[in-house]
Chains A and B, each alone.
Chain A
């Protein structure tokens, strides 16, 4: 009975026989009340003014003691004064004066009151109204409260809040926000389809939503990029590129022109986990890094973490790039494509069964192959690449969804080298397949179960004619399941378990000539098992604090069959061990605690402190210092290679300025690297069975401050990012055991982006970036041996290359009115608009032969060598035509 009383709407009718005119509100009365419950005061006013009040005890704090003094004042003015401070408004409807909370604003006292009430869960999916694709990272919150959440990677959300009436807001950047009043008195499933906001074309925005929303949903650690955002940025050769866009993010540094290598907070380039629909891609580049392996048009969403890693992520030390491929239009058939001088692509998507099942397929191919023929260049030079994405998305029912996705990409590069080889060539390919099952156990428990296969092969052809080649490969087969349990508004539990089986071929040579094969070195192949389990909790403590804590427990096991070598302190082999099939010969357990504490100062300001430990059990072994991906050898941790680890602490501050139009973020961090890897002088990385003996292990440290100011609203948008960061290593046996700056240590990075969108036919965007020159090792002296001029080096990385800076400009023209069914546009990009020559290396081994720099061959002549620098390119203009239906 009491419950009923609490939950029902109470109508207080005084003098029910009378019809009370609205003008009674102008009646003047006198009141002198001290510390009486609000409900009683309302009654007294009603009696004195002959007015009927109607209100819900859930929304009106009837027990709240109030005091008021009024002498001969109108009822209207008394109510204004009395109710305003409790955000209560009143309206006259027929004979009633209705009291209700203003726009559902719930004051702290009310939250506390309702928190003690029964709680219910709202859950569901948010999707794009036009395509039916899920919206990842969309926000769901109760207006005027601090109760909110964000959709997960599958567009699902779950929000458990106290019983009551709310105005729920569903929002996603670039889409019309949707508001819906809900009277929450039972668990609800609320799925929404948001419409693209045709009046708001956001040109460039690196992070979805406002900082306010991010603070509210505790998503301060992730940086989101969408293809739409990427596509507006000026890009290398006009080919929009997710990986190269990462350079816009403070704390992430790229090597320079055309390079796909990137370094997050002082970590090496192999310490970045890049996942495509949950499966890791081991080489995310085409043409040595000039192009990204992923067509940006196929990307639905990308989240980047460079610190404060959620416990669900592991296996890499420095960053996670979590990419989701488009699911396909559930509503209608569509196609899109582009034609450009370097690449072209086409994609198709359609429902197989409307709102039930859809597919998406895209293919991209380079258009570089014809260049040598047209230019009458060396026709023996061939280079090409392609990639294919395909995905099927099946919604069995509201609680079960299935995804099957595939990615394949291949590069082919070959040339005839008559002096040494026949047709020398390189081929590499990535193959990924993922099956996922989303299951909703109930409105609070969501699970995702994934099985994926990822394979990366690298072939170096010594002679294509004779089919002599060197091959390295890595294969990854993983089964995992993740659970999210939205326990209550204060606690969201996340847990998961995974098991991975991997095989490694660090590079073996295959000759058709049996004699050569007999003498070829045999490099041990490795296999491993990895078990991971994690548990974390996101806990709201009061209104101001959010604590996120968890632990990840990876267990790494190397298993046979293989042969491994044991090395002494002089890095010489002292033992060889043959391991039988399936026998474990090396095990590592590396607990990884994760912790963060967010202090929400106001809804517009937040402070976050975090710590995380990460471990990495496999690494790329290469002593190349070039900016491009080269022959890559993945090897696992084992008896001779201990897992690399980092301890990472950071402090972040976020603030909305100028009414949320400008967002400021400042992030400081310090990282300690353990068992960090470097290489002995002139390490022999290929064809070497004893490759572990070429490695040297030590410690590293990195620290920095990242500043970002961003304007995300209006026709003119953009951001300024500045990073001060340092990265050092100490490796016994290298540089006389003294600390030296890492190859990618670049203290000052600046990135500026400005975008202007007329919201009609024209859009413009420009980037300017500055990087302090990379450290390089240059000679301190020279000597001569057998006609060679040989450099002599002092300390490692004793010099720096000239500073890197570059301006990119992009202009786009929409060739149709916005939001026509068939859309097409033309983009013109000037990469490196002022043709800055940004060198990536300095050399001392060339002669100037009529303006051409060439390595001298005749050792009998005393040539005058000249120091030279090499840069990738000058200005690169490009034009591309894009279409979409």
Chain B
């Protein structure tokens, strides 16, 4: 009886969620989606071109055969589609983007030309993330990466976990022993962020190699990321904001974002 009573109390505190069948209404025509970023790292930078899908979890159609160019005031970099990954375009040559410089992306796909402009802002210092051991298990989890609010230095944090080389996991599929997590420190605070739904907690063993990368964010990219997280990670709480399409810096009706980020990296091994 006591348990029944207490359970009812819990019902007030915890919302009930259940799977439903809710097909998207669908679009007659699909839109181009641009996922592109250049950084201050000397490497071949990538721009991925796909199209929207009408069903949740549907495999996006890669956009092949497009002409993709990145340029600044002094240089032009041509991108070539990766043979292995259709829709992924890589710069022919390695280069590094520089803070304070304006970059332009030009895409010509299916007879339509799209463009985007961006500028890199410098990143500031990286404070190493925190992790802790989960009580009752030999595994760890990340407890802190950055404050969610930072008016002066907004940033995106990419945390790469790899425990494929840890004894006990050597025989496992390497993909199951890696994880790529994102954290954000934004100059805004939202109700849906404060009351965001629970996010998956990734657990990893001692010996895991962690690479933490901090990306600088321009105001435009901040706006894009904030809207994107509002529509994904922050959606599904008790205080959702009104749903809306996320902004883009791509012209001509395309979706996505072309970003230029200053990056600093730190790495450690979980002890």
Contact = CB atoms under 8 A, between A and B. Distances in A.
Task: Decide whether A and B are members of one complex.
Answer: yes
Interface of A: 237, 258, 288, 290, 341-342, 368, 371, 374-375, 381, 383, 418-421, 424, 460, 462, 470, 516, 519-521, 622-628, 630-631, 679, 681-688, 743, 776-794, 798-799, 837, 839, 841-849, 853-861, 864-878
A371 B143 CA distance: 26
B73 interface: no
25 contacts: A371-B13, A419-B143, A624-B241, A626-B238, A626-B239, A627-B238, A681-B242, A781-B52, A782-B24, A783-B50, A783-B256, A785-B33, A787-B180, A787-B182, A792-B27, A839-B20, A846-B197, A854-B198, A855-B232, A858-B179, A858-B180, A867-B56, A868-B17, A870-B238, A871-B16
A368 B9 CA distance: 8
B179 A686 contact: no
Contacts of A743: 242
A855 B10 contact: no
Interface of B: 5-6, 8-13, 15-22, 24-27, 30-31, 33, 35, 50-58, 60, 142-145, 147-149, 151-152, 175, 178-183, 187-192, 194-202, 223, 226-228, 230-233, 235-247, 255-257
Contact of B181 (A681, A778, A792, A859): A859
B240 A521 contact: no
Contacts of A869: 17-18, 20, 22
A400 B199 CA distance: 62
A783 B232 contact: no
Given A470-B189, A631-B191, A783-B256, A845 B24 contact: no
Contact of B202 (A686, A845, A858): A858
A302 B15 CA distance: 32
B170 to A, nearest CB: 19
B200 A626 contact: no
Given A371-B13, A789-B232, A858-B181, 18 more contacts: A237-B12, A341-B9, A371-B10, A516-B151, A622-B191, A630-B195, A687-B151, A781-B26, A781-B54, A783-B53, A791-B231, A792-B255, A845-B235, A855-B196, A855-B236, A857-B199, A860-B178, A868-B20
Nearest to A777: B243
A371 B144 contact: no
Nearest to B161: A858
Contacts of B182: 786-787, 859
Given A624-B240, A778-B22, A856-B200, A419 B233 contact: no
B212 to A, nearest CB: 14
Contacts of A686: 188-191
A856 B148 CA distance: 18
Contacts of A837: 16, 18
A848 B189 contact: no
A789 B35 CA distance: 12
Contact of A867 (B19, B25, B27): B19
A798 B25 contact: yes
Given A793-B243, A870-B236, A785 B202 contact: no
Contact of B148 (A420, A688, A875): A420
B199 A844 contact: no
B20 A520 contact: no
CB-CB nearest 4 A-B residue pairs: A681-B244, A860-B180, A843-B236, A519-B152
B264 to A, nearest CB: 19
Contact of B246 (A290, A682, A841): A682
A860 B162 CA distance: 12
Contacts of B246: 681-682, 790
A241 to B, nearest CB: 13
A625 B24 contact: no
A788 B242 contact: no
A790 B232 contact: yes
B226 to A, nearest CB: 7
Contacts of A798: 25
Contacts of A470: 189
A855 B230 contact: no
Contacts of B24: 778-782
B51 to A, nearest CB: 8
